[in-house]
Amino acid sequence: MKIKVAGRAGFCFGVKRAINIAEDALKELKGGDRIYSFGALIHNPQVVEGLLKKGLQVISGHEKIKSGTVIVSSHGAPIEALEEIKKNRVRLIDATCPFVKYAQNIVKGLKKDGYRIIIIGDSDHPEVKALKNIAGKDRLSKKIGVISQTTQNKENYINEIKKILNEDFGEVKIFNTICKDTSKRQLATRRLLKDCDLMIVIGGKNSANTKRLWQICKESGVDSFHIETEPELKKEWFKGKSCVGITSGASTPDLMVKKIIERIRRF
């Protein structure tokens, strides 16, 4: 049985940057100091658990933090929450992914110019919640601005745009806010699907971009499984298979990919 790994694997730039920021802050930690992450820093439970052991504490935003340091996760945070943190004179470190920041700035500009803003993405995802918060209340306007969650499936985004273009509007502005890493991972995954009869998608069950990869694999008709760690692998999945493809989300460390490949080889 052949094992093929997608050309795009391991941490993306934004995830790597957020982890480095958190690691650097934790190194400066002194006795009595506390460092918080506003929401999970990234969507990978195993990596977050490792940071928790080093002293990082995850908060939801409802807690009243009076001292210490708060790190904004790679997904961004609502304006009100950030203002509340600043009021309490707590040190604030922004680890928001630059691509997410780019989408936020587009929303700010559209809002200022009087556009009705449409965001294509998962409504419960922290990135989308922050974007919605920046956009404010929906306004009645013939001017429409469209952006997507940075980890959105490109095909899905195009399909949603087609629906919007059937609406009654005077002007529409469409922005491609899907990050390049997401697009490249999806493309690399589709390439594997042409050769493989089994796909293993590695990444957090709470990771939007990983779930998109799994969705792409499932829709292809190829047997596909979404796992976080190597103990989840089952030997029977590989019976009669000639080629297994390995793809991973943007918050999946290289080490986890290697561990899973090693377990498959032992099978």
For the segment 94-136, what is each residue's pLDDT rounded down to a tens digit?
999 999 999 999 999 999 999 999 999 999 999 999 999 999 9
The confidence score (pLDDT) of residue 167 equals 87
Angle at 132 between CA 202 and CA 72, to 5 degrees: 60
Mean pLDDT of the chain: 93
Could you tell me which residue, 263 or 85, shows the higher pLDDT? 263
Q: What single string gives the DSSP state of each residue in 183-248?
A: HHHHHHHHHHHTT-SEEEEES-TT-HHHHHHHHHHHHHTSEEEEESSGGG--GGGGTT-SEEEEEE
- Contact present, 222 and 264 (Cβ < 8 Å): no
What are the structural domains, with CATH classification, of the chain? 2-10+181-266 (3.40.1010.20), 13-95 (3.40.50.11270), 99-178 (3.40.1010.20)
Q: How wide is the angle at C-alpha 41 spanned by C-alphas 200 and 187, nearest 5°?
A: 35
CB contact burial 109-147 (16+ within 10 A = b; e otherwise): ebbeeebbbbbbbbeebbbbbbbbbbbeeeeebebbbbb
Q: What is residue 119's predicted lDDT score, i.e. its pLDDT?
A: 97
Furthest C-alpha separation in the chain: 61
CB distance 201 to 226 below 8 Å: yes
Q: Report d(CA 24, CA 170) in Å as an integer.
A: 49
Q: What residues are annotated to the active site?
A: 127
81 token code pair: 């929450």
Alpha carbons within 13 A on the beta-carbon side of 155 = 8
Q: Coil, strand or helix: which one is 68?
A: coil
pLDDT for 9-39, tens place per residue?
A: 889 999 999 999 999 999 988 777 899 999 9
Reduced to 3 states, what is the DSSP secondary structure of residue 57? strand
How does pLDDT run across 206-261, given as a tens digit for each residue?
A: 999 999 999 999 999 999 999 999 999 999 999 999 999 999 999 999 999 999 99
Give which of 130, 118, 129, 120 is closest to 152, Cα–Cα: 120
In this prediction, residue 66 carries a pLDDT of 81
Residue with structure tokens 């995802």? 125
Distance (Å, whole) CA 256 – CA 230: 8
pTM score of the predicted model: 0.89
- Judge whether 94 and 72 are in contact, CB under 8 Å: yes
Q: Which residue has the tokens 């000639």?
A: 242
Q: What is the helix (H) or strand (E) element at residue 75, kind and residue range?
A: none
The percent of residues in the chain predicted with pLDDT above 90, rounded, is 83
Predicted confidence at residue 45, as pLDDT, reads 95
C-alpha 127/C-alpha 96 separation (Å) is 9
pLDDT band of residue 62 (cuts 50, 70, 90) is low
Amino acid at 74: S
Q: What phi and psi values does residue 3 have, to the nearest 5 degrees?
A: -120, 120
